[in-house]
Homo-oligomer: A and B are copies of this chain.
């Protein structure tokens, strides 16, 4: 039996809210007998559900943070929202991890302000596991920090490596800097400084990657500032969507192409599922204590289930403890101004 873990879950997160979160929680509980859930949300949603499910405890909240709200303002103001209360459960030790499919910005803010940073981490970062046709790769940061100092990227590399190694089981992951040329002297001044620091301080640093390396899975971990990472991630999503959409159009041109499409659609569906973000369930906010996972707004119940399981796995494999050790290593910590 696995180590018992309690995850606080935001019942209201995501575009579909509780109608998708509750079936996801049910599936997560039934597949993991050592998992307990603290379900945070309105009384009428969480109390009846918890009454009929084992290992699920209701935490009644009275407020909700909507997807479009200003993250920092909403987190500061709505102290009794399901999202903020869920994070408080981790802060108070009642849960070891938190999952929400709500506003990414609000989860990032609440993760940092309510759960709190791991000592020595300059900036928590949003990490994403990208499914590619060949294997899964990790990118960090994909949007938490639009403006970065080069030193942050050293920590992003350390944190994302630990996540790739422990949670994805990638042994000795190869870390690359997302840049615009493979040679050391390529890129912006910022990228060049990052390259030098990564080379000096990250043993598994393998050099520069370019945009086309990401889905080709040339490396295991891609580190970048949150601006570039977010553009890259959304470009992948948009390109994939546009191409699959256009392929669908090409398939419905004539009776013959429609017949052909019927014969290949199984394989295409398999590919689409393989590169879908649902399989990953959620993106970890790395650098906060415990585990903090944010699901896609469009999460379905499988994505919710996988996101909760990823949170439990992150706790069981002691990812945050390993991050704390890594960032306290003198080679790195001496270079980061922790007072910020």
Indicate whether A238 reaches chain B with its CB closer than 8 angstroms: yes
Tell whether, in the assembled complex, residue B242 and residue A132 are in contact, meaning their CB atoms are under 8 Å apart.
yes
| Nearest-neighbor residue (CB-CB) of A233 within chain B | B211
Binds B, one of A151-159, A195-203, A253-261: A253-261
Which of A29-37, A47-55, A115-123, A244-252 makes up part of the contact surface? A244-252
Contact present for B232 and A211 (CB under 8 Å): yes
Residue of B nearest to A185 (CB): B70
| Given known A146-B187, A263-B257, contact A241–B227 (CB-CB < 8 A) | no
Complex alpha-carbon distance, A266 and B260, angstroms: 11
- On whether the beta carbons of A234 and B263 are closer than 8 Å, the reply is no
A26 to B246, CA, bound (A): 34
The answer to whether A241 and B216 have CB atoms under 8 Å apart is yes
Instruction: Please give the count of copies of this chain that the complex contains.
Output: 2
CB distance from A130 to the nearest CB of B (A): 10
Q: Chain A contact residues (Cβ within 8 angstroms of B): what range? A: 35 or more
Q: Please report the C-alpha to C-alpha distance between residue A38 and residue B212 in the assembled complex, in whole angstroms.
A: 35
Query: How far does the Cβ of A30 sit from chain B's closest Cβ, in whole Å?
Result: 32
Interface pair B264/A250, CB less than 8 Å apart:
yes
Please determine whether A214 and B188 come into contact, CB atoms closer than 8 angstroms: no
Shortest CB-to-CB span from A278 to chain B, Å, is 17
Q: Could you say which residues of chain B place their CB within 8 Å of the CB of A260?
A: 259-264
Contact B230 A228 (CB under 8 A): no
Bound Cα distance from A268 to B211, whole angstroms: 24
Q: How far is the CA of A188 from the CA of B214 in the complex (A)?
A: 23
> Contacts A257-B263, A260-B260: A235 and B211 contacting too (C-beta < 8 A)?
yes
Query: A340: CB under 8 A from chain B?
Result: no
Q: A226 near B: Cβ within 8 Å?
A: yes
Contact status of A242 and B133, CB under 8 A, knowing A188-B146, A264-B251: yes
With an 8 A cutoff between CB atoms, is A331 at the interface?
Answer: no
Can you show 17 pairs from A to B with CB atoms below 8 A apart? A133-B243, A146-B180, A210-B230, A210-B234, A211-B233, A215-B235, A228-B228, A228-B231, A231-B231, A243-B275, A246-B275, A250-B268, A251-B264, A257-B266, A260-B260, A260-B264, A261-B264
The 4 closest A-B pairs by CB, nearest first: A260-B263, A212-B238, A211-B234, A250-B267
- A243-B275, A263-B263, A264-B264 known, 5 other contacts, Cβ within 8 Å: A211-B230, A211-B235, A215-B243, A216-B242, A259-B260
